[in-house]
Structure 1
Amino acid sequence: MAVTQVVRSEWTKIRSVASTVWTLSLAAFVTIALGMLISALAKSEFGNMSVESQATFDPTFVSFAGMSLGQLAMIVFGVLVVSNEYSTGMIRTSLAAVPQRVNFLFSKVAVATVLAFVVGIVTSFLAFFLGQAMLGSLKASISDPGVLRAVIGGGLYMTLIAMFSMGVAAMLRSPMLSLGILMPFFFLISNVLANVSATKKIGQFLPDRAGSKILQVVTPLNDDTPYGPWGGLGIMVLWVVAALIGGFVLLQRRDA
């Protein structure tokens, strides 16, 4: 089957499954709503901050505060896109229709990535503008140095989170197992490793910690991160590439 036909088939699968549509909608809603709420709270508490905190206040980063929960829905989206067919047993039918397994997984990941990017970039711009509206006089402008990079980077970050989840799901095949590993990894292990002095240098190179650097415009106090915004995103890309390669290799080597 030609790649274009496989891509069309994967697009039909994704848009016909309600769970994938709902998870993307939830990712956008949570990111925007929570970002607006925290931006409003930051404005009300700004006067109570220390002089140092006020000097390094990053209005752009604050508007992306909801992304920490929005990525949860992106993880679920990435996992479901790949592993749903394994849980239902449809993977055998799909691989029988598309014997070229590389084409099969590539088309699935490509379609889901484009969809995740569209949702991610729209979400990022809305989160920024609505968050800045909540900040009032503290707001940043899209034309300020580094701001447009951070806003576009927000869309890229959400897309890469989804892609990494697709790679992990392709390796593990089970939606429950994939989510059981990814959720604690991003919401517990990553935070612990990045905030404990003994493991901080390791935690800085985890995909979410490195990738989120692209969202910052103002460098935080006592920040000793050994890379910049694009360097952090580059580290995240390497994690995503490794996960996807693992998924492709295992799909080729084992039975459905």
Structure 2
Amino acid sequence: MTTAVPYRVTTPRVLRSEWHKFWTLRSTWITLAVASALVLAVGVTMGSTYDGDDSEVDTVVFVLLGTQLSQICVAVLGILVTASEYSTGVIRASLTAVPRRLPVLWSKAGVFAAVAFALSFVTNVVTFLVAQIWLSDSDKATSLTDTGVLGALAGNAAGITLMSLIALGLGGLLRSVPAAIGAFVGGVMILPEILGMLPYDAVDRAVNYFPTQSAESLGSATRLPDAVSPGMGLLSLALWAAVVLTASALFLRRRDV
């Protein structure tokens, strides 16, 4: 007589489960499609209407202005990945299947980060190449092989991904879609702008290390004035994401569902 092998919770299995949950939601497809479409549409518009007025703006920054809009879409999706399970009650099934709890959060973050970065990077490259159809005869004629261009396209995608991981962490921390969206928009996007208006040099320097400002330093082929270096911006943004995700993990372990 053979003994049945008990079901074991392993990292690959949890990742596969979260992958399937992520792609079976209609909101995932719609949000990602809208995010990509916004970047491409704005990039085409900027390229096709360029008349030389913004010659001082970095070319990558210029053609990827649409990422300011897509960032909100991807961040909202990150919030839905965690917070929506609490509103629907699906989180109970997830945590029953994975009693240790934390693998669920790390798997959600891993799946989401991989998809967000891949989609953002591909969208950035396509938008850049399409925009160059109109910009090839202007002072913004640039190729992927030019110094800093590919790094800026990847940096922009990394910035969007890490910013959205902060949103994902807020969703797990607050367990409410509206509250997490409000915290992200108000605390991550608006608060630094308000602080930047204060007449204090120390505050100005500190604001450069806030998430939005750190992300901006990653998406330019040339160093932005008064901004931190891309390396420091990446480190700062990664630390912000790590802090929020760690706080979410602590709440997940200590609070009842």
TM-score by length of 2: 0.89
The structure-2 alpha-carbon separation of the partners of 1:190 and 1:38, relative to structure 1 and needing over 3 Å to count, comes to farther
1:121-168 C-alpha deviation (Å, 9 max, x unpaired): 111211221222232322211111111110111221221122111111
- Alignment partner of 1:146 is 2:148: yes
| 8 Å Cα contact 1:194-1:202 kept in structure 2 | no
Separation (CA, whole Å) in 2 of partners of 1:60 and 1:192: 26
| 8 Å Cα contact 1:171-1:246 kept in structure 2 | yes
1:124 counterpart residue number = 124
Letter in 1 for 2:219: L
1:163 counterpart residue number = 165
Q: After superposition, where does 1:55-134 map in structure 2 within 5 Å?
A: 56-134=56-134
The structure-2 alpha-carbon separation of the partners of 1:224 and 1:213, relative to structure 1 and needing over 3 Å to count, comes to same
1:206 counterpart residue number = 210
Q: After superposition, where does 1:45-60 map in structure 2 within 5 Å?
A: 46=52, 48=53, 54=55, 56-60=56-60
Separation (CA, whole Å) in 2 of partners of 1:35 and 1:2: 43
Post-superposition offset of 1:40: 3.3
- Alignment partner of 1:5 is 2:5: no
Letter in 2 for 1:164: I
1:87-107 C-alpha deviation (Å, 9 max, x unpaired): 101211211111011111111
| 8 Å Cα contact 2:156-2:215 kept in structure 1 | no
The structure-2 alpha-carbon separation of the partners of 1:23 and 1:128, relative to structure 1 and needing over 3 Å to count, comes to same
Letter in 1 for 2:249: F
Separation (CA, whole Å) in 2 of partners of 1:236 and 1:194: 18
Post-superposition offset of 1:187: 4.1
CA RMSD between the two structures:
1.8
| 8 Å Cα contact 1:40-1:135 kept in structure 2 | yes
| 8 Å Cα contact 1:206-1:236 kept in structure 2 | yes
Gaps of 5+ in 2: 1-8
Q: Secondary structure at the match of 2:180?
A: helix
Give runs of ≥4 in structure 1 deviating > 4 Å. none
Gaps of 5+ in 1: none
Separation (CA, whole Å) in 2 of partners of 1:157 and 1:170: 20
| 8 Å Cα contact 2:223-2:229 kept in structure 1 | no
- Among the aligned pairs, what percent are the same residue? 30
Separation (CA, whole Å) in 1 of partners of 2:31 and 2:159: 16
1:20 counterpart residue number = 28
Separation (CA, whole Å) in 1 of partners of 2:189 and 2:28: 21
